[in-house]
Amino acid sequence: MVNVIDVMHNLMTINNDNTSINVDVVVAGVGIAGAFTLNALPKKFDVIGIDKKKELGYPVECGEIVPTKKEMKHLFSLNDYSIFEIPRKFESNKTKVIKFILPNGREIDVEFEMHVIKRDEMIKEIAKKSGHKLILGKRFDFNGAIFVNSERFNSKIIVASDGANSRIAKKLKIRYEFSAAKQYLMRGFEGDEDVIYMYVGKVISPGAYAWIIPKGDGYANVGTGFRFKFAEKENNIHKALNYFINEYKYSSYMLKKAEIVEKIGAIVPIDLPKRTVYDNILFIGDSASMVISHVGAGIPTSMLAGDIAGDVITKHLEEKIDLSEYERRWREAMFETMKNGYFIRKLWDKIASNDDKLIKYFKLIDEKDMKLIIRGKVPIKLKLANFLIPILNMIF
Ligand SMILES: Cc1cc2nc3c(=O)[nH]c(=O)nc-3n(C[C@H](O)[C@H](O)[C@H](O)COP(=O)(O)OP(=O)(O)OC[C@H]3O[C@@H](n4cnc5c(N)ncnc54)[C@H](O)[C@@H]3O)c2cc1C
């Protein structure tokens, strides 16, 4: 457990007024994106990571699934995929299949390998091993520079890795669209531990999807996404998740004996990233909506963006390369998949408000299409459907 609160006064240059601290880089927020940025920055730089959490990564506000390195090759365009070799110690389960379950019970299985990671442990260990200073249990503020209480950090670079509720993004008036999410960690799950279960349907998850993610040994992350504009007035996220667990016939039978161990609520960005470099500020991860939005996946994108940011910052400090290189490189690696995910998500928005129509639309979709969709590709029939939806909506 990282409970290091470095005594910064001993370690850094303090200006005359005693309230201003000079550093090379402030990593503002140490979740997945911040931890991978810290990890990619050499120790010779004066770097400080700040997080309001006393225990990094906890509570785990995440389903914790990450495609294996083999699958990453379908998603991102890279020369080196070694960042996605997740050590066994950070893995609680490995799954083989994603099962989509429609409101009429139709199942579509796609073979796709995933790690179910121990996200909190991974963040903690990677941040700690980076060797950089950490200030934990303290909330920062941003006003052109980062402040913690009355101390101002004069940093050459600010890494805005402060998540979906990014204070820095708000100050710069950068706004993104979100989905609400609620998840229980449950013990006593009785389903197939090789399978990730994803459910669509208006009652259990208006405009999004609900999930059961087996963590091994009968533990599972059980959650739902909820977008208010798609929901009936009387529904809310708590009702939707409780119904999914206790009554919904395609999920509740596996959770009959399960008890709740932990509860979390959070938001997931579902937008396309906008600009991510503003002078000396780099936005990374959820603060920049770096997600594959049709599946709400932000761990791999945050890992990779953090790694790229660390490398670009290093070259900027050593060789004066422009920070815009960060924007160019992350877009080259993953924007295509983000764009495809966003296209599918927008298409989904056009059909998600009515379960009967949804079932009819899904008659056009088979396992081959789902294979492409889950790998961030858009099947040609979806491209066509996008134009035909007004007509199809009249027919269905
Ligand atoms: C319920 C749920 C399930 C999900 N499941 C998956 C999944 O299975 N797979 C997947 O790939 N993605 C999933 N996601 C998305 C994924 O979790 C995020 O995209 C990813 O964690 C983003 O990482 P990040 O480092 O950008 O942000 P975060 O992990 O949110 O880290 C931001 C950090 O900044 C800190 N911080 C924020 N503001 C301040 C402040 N003012 N002062 C100090 N510290 C601050 C926070 O404490 C936090 O530690 C899920 C999201 C949710 C909500």
CATH number for position 160 = 3.50.50.60
What pLDDT score was predicted for residue 18? Answer: 56
* Pairing status of strand 178-187 against strand 277-278: unpaired
327 within ligand 1 shell (Cβ under 6 A): no
What pLDDT score was predicted for residue 8? Answer: 37
Report the Cα–Cα distance between both ends of the chain, in Å, rounded: 55
Residue 257 lies in a domain: no
65 within ligand 1 shell (Cβ under 6 A): yes
What pLDDT score was predicted for residue 303? Answer: 98
Nearest to 290 by CA among 305, 308, 311: 305
Residue 89 lies in a domain: no
- One-letter amino acid identity for 223? G
Alpha carbon separation from 45 to 26, 32, 239, 354, 390 (Å, rounded): 11, 20, 49, 54, 56
What pLDDT score was predicted for residue 14? Answer: 40
What pLDDT score was predicted for residue 186? Answer: 98
Host H or E run for residue 311: helix 299-319
Model confidence at 387, pLDDT cuts 50, 70, 90, reads confident
- Residue pair 283/337 in contact by the 8 Å Cβ criterion: no
Mean pLDDT computed over 194-223 = 98
What pLDDT score was predicted for residue 9? Answer: 37
Q: Is the pLDDT of residue 118 over 90?
A: yes
Residue 314 lies in a domain: yes
296 within ligand 1 shell (Cβ under 6 A): yes
CA 266 to ligand 1: nearest atom: 53
Cα Rg of the chain (Å, integer): 22
Host H or E run for residue 28: strand 20-28
- Residue pair 213/194 in contact by the 8 Å Cβ criterion: no
Angle between the N-to-C axes of helices 32-40 and 119-129, in degrees from 0 to 180, rounded to the nearest 10: 30
pTM of the model: 0.94
Find all residues with CB under 8 Å of 194, minimum gap 6, and list them.
95, 96, 97, 214
What pLDDT score was predicted for residue 234? Answer: 96
Total number of domains in the chain: 1
Residue 98 lies in a domain: no
User: Alpha carbon 175 to chain centroid distance?
Assistant: 17
The domain in which residue 303 lies consists of 8-59+120-176+270-341
* Pairing status of strand 107-117 against strand 47-51: unpaired
pLDDT digits (tens, 9 = 90+) for 322-350: 999 999 999 999 999 999 999 999 999 99
Residue 140 lies in a domain: yes
The whole-chain average pLDDT of the chain stands at 94
Q: Is the pLDDT of residue 288 over 90?
A: yes
- Residue pair 150/19 in contact by the 8 Å Cβ criterion: yes
The region of weakest confidence among 10-24, 169-183, 349-363, 377-391 is: 10-24
Mean pLDDT computed over 14-24 = 73
Q: Is the pLDDT of residue 2 over 80?
A: no
CA 140 to ligand 1: nearest atom: 42
pLDDT digits (tens, 9 = 90+) for 103-113: 999 999 999 99
Of the chain, the percentage scoring pLDDT greater than 70 comes to 95
Give the angle subtended at the CA of 54 by the CAs of 52 and 60, to the nearest 5°: 85
User: Alpha carbon 22 to chain centroid distance?
Assistant: 31
CA of 30 to the centre of ligand 1 (A): 9
At 75, give phi and psi (nearest 5°).
Answer: -95, -40
What pLDDT score was predicted for residue 396? Answer: 77
What pLDDT score was predicted for residue 106? Answer: 97
- One-letter amino acid identity for 311? D
Tokens encoding 62: 């995440």
Cβ count within 10 A of residue 306 = 31
Residue 304 lies in a domain: yes
What pLDDT score was predicted for residue 278? Answer: 98
Residue 105 lies in a domain: no
Give the SS3 label for residue 319: helix
What pLDDT score was predicted for residue 395? Answer: 78
CA of 77 to the centre of ligand 1 (A): 23
